[in-house]
Structure 1
Amino acid sequence: MTESNQTVHLKKSVAPYEHSRISVSVRQMANTLLPLVALWSAAYLSLSVSYLLTLLFAVGASFFVIRTFIIFHDCCHGSFFKSKRANDIVGNITGVLTLVPYQQWKNSHAIHHATSSNLDKRGVGDLWILTVDEYASASRMTKLAYRLYRHPLIMFGLGPIYVFVFQYRFNRKGARRKEQLNTYLMNAMIVALYALMCWAIGWEAFLLVQGPVFYLSGVLGVWLFYVQHQFEDSYFEHDEEWSYVKAAVDGSSYYKLPKFLQWLTGNIGFHHVHHLSPKVPNYYLEQAHDAVPPLHKATTITIRQSLESLKFRLWDEEGKRFVSFRDVRDRLRKPAGVRRGSASADPRKAS
Structure 2
Amino acid sequence: MAQNENSRVQGWFRETKKYEKPSKARALWQILNTMVPFLALWAVILWLHHSGQPYLLILPFIIVAGLFMIRLFIIFHDCTHGSFFASATANRVLGTLLGILTFTPFADWRKAHSIHHANTANLDKRGVGDIWTLTLEEYQAASPSTRFWYRVYRNPIVLFFLVPPILFFILQRFPSGKFEQKTLLNLHITNVGIAVVAIALGFLGGWDLVYLVELPMFYLASVIGVWLFYVQHQFDPGYWQRDEQWQAHDAAMLGSSHYKLPKVLQWISGNIGLHHIHHLRPHIPNYNLERCYRATPELQLANPLTFRTSFASLNLHLWDEKNQTLIGFRTARQRLRGLAPRLSLS
2:177 pairs with 1:185: no
Residue 215 (structure 1) shift: 1.0
Distance 1:332 1:28, change over 3 A: same
What corresponds to 2:251 in structure 1? 247
What corresponds to 1:260 in structure 2? 264
For 1:91-102, list aligned pairs within 5 A. 91-102=95-106
What corresponds to 1:305 in structure 2? 309
What corresponds to 1:289 in structure 2? 293
Maintained 8 Å contact 2:105/2:172: yes
Residue 206 (structure 1) shift: 2.9
Given residue 71 of structure 2, which amino acid in structure 1 is its aligned partner? Answer: R
2:272 pairs with 1:272: no
Choose the corresponding residue for 1:31, options 30, 33, 41. 33
User: How many residues are treated as equivalent by the alignment?
Assistant: 337
Choose the corresponding residue for 1:135, options 129, 139, 153. 139
Deviations 1:49-92 (A, max 9, x none): 23222111111101100000011000000100000000000000
Structure 2 Cα separation of the partners of residues 6 and 154 of structure 1: 44
Maintained 8 Å contact 1:44/1:209: no
Maintained 8 Å contact 2:258/2:301: no
Structure 2 Cα separation of the partners of residues 15 and 112 of structure 1: 21
Structure 2 Cα separation of the partners of residues 137 and 235 of structure 1: 22
Q: Secondary structure at the match of 2:187?
A: helix
2:96 pairs with 1:111: no
What corresponds to 1:67 in structure 2? 71
What corresponds to 1:42 in structure 2? 44
Q: Which deviates the most, 279-288 or 41-50?
A: 41-50
What corresponds to 1:125 in structure 2? 129
Given residue 314 of structure 1, which amino acid in structure 2 is its aligned partner? Answer: L
2:230 pairs with 1:226: yes
TM-score by length of 2: 0.93
Distance 1:298 1:185, change over 3 A: farther
Residue 43 (structure 1) shift: 2.5
Residue 205 (structure 1) shift: 2.9
Structure 1 Cα separation of the partners of residues 9 and 194 of structure 2: 41
Q: Which runs of 5+ in 1 are unaligned?
A: 337-351
What corresponds to 1:215 in structure 2? 219
Distance 1:199 1:298, change over 3 A: farther
Distance 1:90 1:6, change over 3 A: farther
Residue 323 (structure 1) shift: 0.9
Choose the corresponding residue for 1:160, options 164, 189, 207. 164
Structure 2 Cα separation of the partners of residues 298 and 165 of structure 1: 39
Distance 1:11 1:115, change over 3 A: same
Q: Which deviates the most, 94-103 or 210-219?
A: 210-219
Maintained 8 Å contact 1:75/1:81: yes
RMSD, aligned α-carbons: 1.8
Q: Secondary structure at the match of 1:241?
A: coil
Deviations 1:267-325 (A, max 9, x none): 11110110000111101101111111221237500001011111111111122111110
Given residue 145 of structure 2, which amino acid in structure 1 is its aligned partner? Answer: M
Q: Secondary structure at the match of 1:216?
A: helix
2:57 pairs with 1:57: no
Q: Secondary structure at the match of 1:123?
A: coil
What corresponds to 1:15 in structure 2? 17
Residue 6 (structure 1) shift: 6.3
Q: Which runs of 5+ in 2 are unaligned?
A: 342-346
Q: Which deviates the most, 70-79 or 309-318?
A: 309-318
Residue 5 (structure 1) shift: 4.8
Given residue 179 of structure 2, which amino acid in structure 1 is its aligned partner? Answer: A
Maintained 8 Å contact 1:250/1:298: no
TM-score by length of 1: 0.92
